[in-house]
Amino acid sequence: MAIAPHSLEHLSSISHEVAAWVAEVAQLTVPSAVHWCDGSDAEFRMLQRGLVSSGELIPLNESAFPGCFLYRSDPTDVARVEHLTFVCTRSRDDAGPNNLWMAPAEAHRKLDDLFRGCMRGRTMYVIAYCMGPLDSPLARCGVEITDSPYVVLNMHLMTRMGRAALERIGREGSFVKGLHSTGELDPARRFIMHFPEESTIKSFGSGYGGNALLGKKCHALRIASWQARREGWLAEHMLIAGIESPDGRTRYVACAFPSACGKTNLAMLIPPASYPGWKIWTVGDDIAWLHPGRDGRLYAINPESGYFGVVPGTNPKTNRNAYETIRRDTIFTNVALTAGGEPWWEGLHEGQPAFDWRGQPYDPANGPAAHPNSRFTVAAKRNPSYTRTAEDPDGVPISAIVFGGRRRTLAPLVYQARSWNHGVLVGASVASETTAAATGEVGVVRRDPMAMKPFAGYNFGDYWDHWIKVGARLEHPPQIFHVNWFRQGADGKYLWPGFGENLRVLRWMLDRCDGSAGAVDTPIGHLPGPTDLDVHGLDLHESTIEELLAVDRDAWRGEFDAIGAYLGEYGERLPQALARELHESMQRLHAR
């Protein structure tokens, strides 16, 4: 078996450490061949052709969807598996109550037993990748070893991978090690293990995005959040968008919403007709790495270079940019198929499904035609609202941080935190209804601090402390807000029109950052007063606006009791400053 990098033989800078680790993994997993990915388009097409001939990738209607393919995953392997995802630190307390924990030695033993000989008869792919622009000092590299060519194709779209990343690793010497095998896709032999102290990930038994594209959640959030704490920055589950106003200024926001709560839609928002001269630029739709800059502001890079977005619901009204982006050079996973070989999903509002996501003739009795967590993978540059600033090595300056969740009741449309530390409390208090992005019950409210519950690679108590410390270093910190686009009336209908109209709310936030918009002070923060939010031209009854901006003190007292109980679980690790914010919020709520 050849383990020397054929296609990369002219590369003298392959680090000894990468080569040694690849040899060690090959010895454990016994592949029949080792392919060092060079990241070229020729390689991408070659792997695509291979998957088409094995029947794993289905070419879609070439005239309507040029360069697009459908991939059907194993029906048991369609989402992240939080109940099988572990953080393996020497001390259990470092992983915290927010993570499942296993002792590193035990986790290595368990996983190495699974990996032993698992690539027999398969090719092992070595993917060197860079999270962030290749020339950015804020970017970090990793190497994923996988036996899944589908993973290679996705990593090609989602990261800067191949030769250039390998060269950077050769120069820097450091990289995150990610070992992945689909195994037999047996849910009983599926684990996603993180060893932050060793910058290592081991993932076995799943081919699904968040479990298998190790640059994404495993590296760019779980391992990176640990590295970020050590190095003084933040790795967050946030979109990054630039908002250009008619005066030509572009200001950037970073927004943390739980999975499948509209980050991609907001990042690609198209301003409504009533907002001429406004434009939204997409820097990222899922992950932000935030660094204090020398000028006292917070700067963000998007470590990814593609989107792995939720398909259902995408249509020209909800997200025209995404709808257009995914009409070419896209990998669809688990969508339905029309008789004409076009992809189909619920909420598309055109065409008819002929085959469901499992490939069975469509029968509504079997549930949705497309899986609710079906996905598109596509390069970010395909997006009409893509901006070159996504390649800026220094990142973009952030004016506002926005937290949000999916709440039928309670949380108003928008409110602003009083200060950075109060904003950390607002973020730590995020709760949201669960979605199909993770295996488990859907629609149950759970605490999801900073939308990072599934992704923080260490104890949330230490994480909030780190947030507070980062804030203290910022002379010009972003303002912090909370939004809830999902508030429903008694009839179960959404109160706020959402989508493009969300720009009205973003505008209020930016005006608050400038000090030019009004607000009323409430116990939970600053809310727009009746005339502060631009609702001109919206078909919204005055009472609906009142409901959207109402703060029900009784209900919030109950909420804060629940927040207090939740934060109490972090015991001694809960930072004093956060406990103080909590106490002061409660006092305000109980004041007459």
Q: For the CB of residue 159, give the shortest distance to ligand OXD in the complex, in Å.
A: 14
Contact 86, 94 (CB under 8 A): no
Distance CA 107, CA 201 (A): 11
Contact 459, 93 (CB under 8 A): yes
The residues facing 401 across adjacent strands are 254, 480
Taking every pair of C-alpha atoms in the chain, what is the biggest distance, in angstroms? 76
Q: Does 485 bind ligand OXD (CB under 6 A)?
A: no
Q: For the CB of residue 308, give the shortest distance to ligand OXD in the complex, in Å.
A: 5
Of 34 and 151, which CB lies nearer to ligand OXD in the complex structure?
151
Contact 130, 391 (CB under 8 A): no
Distance CA 27, CA 154 (A): 26
Q: Does 209 bind ligand OXD (CB under 6 A)?
A: yes
Q: For the CB of residue 119, give the shortest distance to ligand OXD in the complex, in Å.
A: 26
Contact pick of 207, 210, 303, 306 for ligand OXD (by CB under 6 A): 210
Contact 519, 532 (CB under 8 A): yes
179 interface partner picked from Mn ion, ligand OXD, none, CB below 5 to 8 A per type: none
Let me know if 37 is a catalytic residue.
no
Distance CA 539, CA 551 (A): 22
C-alpha R_g of the chain = 23
Of 284 and 341, which CB lies nearer to ligand OXD in the complex structure?
284
Number of chain positions touching ligand OXD (CB under 6 A):
7
Binding mask 156-195 for ligand OXD (x = CB under 6 A): ----------------------------------------
Q: For the CB of residue 181, give the shortest distance to ligand OXD in the complex, in Å.
A: 20
Q: Does 286 bind ligand OXD (CB under 6 A)?
A: yes
Q: Is 432 left (phi over 0), alpha (psi -120 to 50) or beta?
A: beta
Write the DSSP string, 81-144: -GGGEEE--SSHHHH-TTSEE--HHHHHHHHHHHHTTTTTTSEEEEEEEEES-TT-TT-EEEEE
Residue of 288, 280, 257 lying closest to 507 (CA atoms): 280
Of 267 and 428, which CB lies nearer to ligand OXD in the complex structure?
267
Name residue, tokens 């893509």. 386
Binding mask 433-462 for ligand OXD (x = CB under 6 A): ----x-------------------------
Residue from 37, 68, 218, 261 carrying the catalytic annotation:
261
Residue of 404, 494, 400, 402 lying closest to 448 (CA atoms): 404
Of 286 and 391, which CB lies nearer to ligand OXD in the complex structure?
286
Of 286 and 465, which CB lies nearer to Mn ion in the complex structure?
286
Distance CA 333, CA 345 (A): 11
Distance CA 81, CA 505 (A): 34
Q: For the CB of residue 92, give the shortest distance to Mn ion in the complex, in Å.
A: 26
Residues 290-309 binding ligand OXD (CB under 6 A) are 308
Of 262 and 525, which CB lies nearer to ligand OXD in the complex structure?
262
437 interface partner picked from ligand OXD, Mn ion, none, CB below 5 to 8 A per type: ligand OXD
The alpha carbon dihedral of 242, 245, 247, 253 has a sign of negative
Contact pick of 146, 148, 225, 259 for ligand OXD (by CB under 6 A): 259
Of 227 and 259, which CB lies nearer to ligand OXD in the complex structure?
259
Contact pick of 72, 80, 219, 418 for ligand OXD (by CB under 6 A): 80
Q: Does 219 bind ligand OXD (CB under 6 A)?
A: no
Q: Which residues bind Mn ion (CB under 5 A)?
A: 259, 286
Q: For the CB of residue 78, give the shortest distance to ligand OXD in the complex, in Å.
A: 11
- The residues of the shown chain that bind ligand OXD, judged by CB under 6 A, are 80, 209-210, 259, 286, 308, 437
Question: Which residues belong to the active site?
Answer: 261
